[in-house]
Amino acid sequence: MIDLIQTYWKSYLWSDGFNLTGLAMTLWLLVLSCALGFLLSIPLAIARNSRNPWLWRPVWLFTFVFRGTPLFVQLLMIYSGLAGIHGIRHSPLLWSFFRSGFHCVIVAFVLNTCAYTTEIFAGAIKATPFGEIEAGQAIGMSRATLYRRVILPSSLRRALPAYSNEVIFMLHSTSVAFTATVPDLLKVAVDVNAATFMTFQAYGIAAVIYLGVTFALVALFRRAEHRWLAYLQPQTVLASPRPKELPC
Amino acid sequence: MTFSLEGYGQLILAGTWVTLKIALLSMVVAFGIGLAGAVAKLSANPVLAWGAGLYTTLIRGIPALVLMLLLYFSVQMGLNRVTEHFGLHQLDIEPVSAAILVLGFIYGAYFIETFRGAYLAVPRGQMEAALAMGMPWLRAFRRIQFPQMMRFALPGVANNWLVLVKTAGLVSLLGVNDMVKAARQAGSATMRQFFFYGVVAVIFLAITSLSQILLQVLERRFAIGVREARL
């Protein structure tokens, strides 16, 4: 066990000497896919709530398909599937992009997390109290200003608890990246297992690191909620003598 | 692009059956662990409560795929070591039942949390009244607590089931001949991977959509006798 850690700790954490590996790769995958997914999901969430069927129907279909199928199958379709399609194999630009396992993983992850995030944000936008919207309209805000100043700030805050779940879910999902030869934390564990046959230890170290990242994310989001959702917290009553009888 | 399965329909159908079997049976395992674990987590016995708490925290903090590989392969390695020590033949765990147990064990932790919340949502007096009437605890749980808590648990159960079905798509990584593996074989033989993985995606989509419809029916059934205010 000690030998295993001494030999492989660097690969587990950030580098095997040539590439970004292990924890660093997992975090890079997580940050990149969550950031891109977040940016894409905001316009999609707005379109999802549109009254125009040409806008909301395609978005509904997109989230339905990507939330209804496993990420692993989506990744296989992109990583192994696209390579077999003539038009992509023989287009230099597309092929140079999709030849890399890392690119395929990022495309699959972004599409997947974007679908979940879109539904989370669309739900939050839909739940905006009508008073906030009417107040904005009453002082003559344009639709874009209304979204920018009123609806998005308020609904993104309210979506924070659900969004934090999605980010942790995404952290756990990044482990399928190893099937596309991306050297993430699980790939290091698989390789260490193959090299040492110390199965429990090899996977156990990865599991402990994942657990640590999960706890760190939970703590981080708890602080974020404390800061941005402070106005939704139940009021805390300062210590005061309890009244003997309630006036009724 | 043609839409012919080129004779691989049978293989994919057999794989679909394996995937469904694994998902359904591991759901049963997880459901049982969830009920027992929720009661343990809420019990006055500190060892039980603490053990169940540790189990849910650990399992839910680690990716399901990592746990699947960890449990599946280390149990096999451990078993090999034992049989080798006693000079017996190697006992190979049958992949399908191993996958069912591993998935059930992982999702049991998620079900514990769902059922714990549902248990607490039922007024305490219900169980107390049943016990006061002299019902044994198990019968009181089965007749009084369980039907009432299922109404609160169903949305969570539905969610867990959908995640579980999609995770069951990973069992080919444990060497199970499920539909993803069937699609891989068909795809690499015909060089039409995109098409065959697409077929699998459509089957998954059908399973998840059907379950959503079914769960809505169930939700209505367990809400019988509950009055709702119409807005």
Q: Which of residues 58-97 of B touch A (CB under 8 A)?
A: 58, 61-67, 69-70, 73-74, 77-78
In a domain, A245, yes or no: no
Amino acid occupying residue B83: T
Inter-chain contact B66–A207, Cβ cutoff 8 Å? yes
Q: Give the residue from B198, B44, B66 showing the smallest Cα distance to A189.
A: B66
Inter-chain contact B193–A211, Cβ cutoff 8 Å? no
Residue A231, pLDDT score: 78
- Residues in chain B with CB shorter than 8 Å from the CB of A83 are 193
In a domain, B44, yes or no: yes
Residue B23, pLDDT score: 93
Residue B63, pLDDT score: 92
Bridge partner residues of A15 (DSSP): A20
Residue A186, pLDDT score: 92
Residue A141, CB-side half-sphere exposure with 13 Å CA sphere: 16
Shortest CA gap A236–chain B (Å): 24
Neighbours of A41 (CB within 10 A): 26
In a domain, A199, yes or no: yes
Give the whole-angstrom CA distance, residue A39 versus residue A152: 13
Q: How many domains does chain B have?
A: 1
The model's confidence at residue B185, banded by pLDDT at 50, 70 and 90, is: confident
In a domain, A129, yes or no: yes
In a domain, A11, yes or no: yes
Residue A59, pLDDT score: 93
Give the whole-angstrom CA distance, residue A228 versus residue A224: 6
Per-run averaged pLDDT (10 residues), chain A, 248 residues: 76 80 91 95 92 92 93 91 79 81 92 94 90 91 91 90 91 92 89 85 91 93 87 67 56
Here the tokens at position A222 are 């708890």
In a domain, A237, yes or no: no
Give the whole-angstrom CA distance, residue A188 versus residue A16: 9
Inter-chain contact A69–B67, Cβ cutoff 8 Å? no
Contact call for residues B185 and B12 (beta carbons, < 8 A): no
Whether the predicted pLDDT of B220 surpasses 90: no
ipTM of the complex: 0.85
Q: Which of residues 29-58 of B touch A (CB under 8 A)?
A: 58
User: Which residues span the domain enclosing A192?
Assistant: 2-232
Tell me which of A147-151, B10-14, B61-65 is least confident. B10-14
In a domain, A104, yes or no: yes
CATH number for the domain harbouring residue A111: 1.10.3720.10
Tell me what the mean pLDDT of segment B125-140 comes to: 93
CATH number for the domain harbouring residue B87: 1.10.3720.10
Shortest CA gap A116–chain B (Å): 13
Amino acid occupying residue A73: V
In a domain, B200, yes or no: yes
Give the whole-angstrom CA distance, residue B177 versus residue B12: 10
DSSP A165: H
Contact call for residues B33 and B160 (beta carbons, < 8 A): no
In a domain, A190, yes or no: yes
Helix locations, chain B, DSSP H: 9-42, 46-61, 64-85, 95-121, 124-132, 137-140, 146-168, 179-190, 193-222
User: Which residues span the domain enclosing B56?
Assistant: 9-222
In a domain, A238, yes or no: no
Residue B105, pLDDT score: 93
pLDDT in tens, B102-129: 999 999 999 999 999 999 999 999 999 9
DSSP code string of A2-45: HHHHHHHHHHHHTBSSSSB-HHHHHHHHHHHHHHHHHHHHHHHH
In a domain, B45, yes or no: yes
Give the whole-angstrom CA distance, residue A127 versus residue A125: 5
pLDDT in tens, B22-46: 999 999 999 999 999 999 998 888 8
Q: How many domains does chain A have?
A: 1
Mean of pLDDT over chain B: 87
Give the whole-angstrom CA distance, residue B163 versus residue B123: 29
Residue of B163, B181, B197, B207 best to disrupt the A interface, most CBs of A under 10 A: B197
Q: Name which of B70, B167, B205 is nearest A203 (Cβ-Cβ).
A: B70
In a domain, B2, yes or no: no
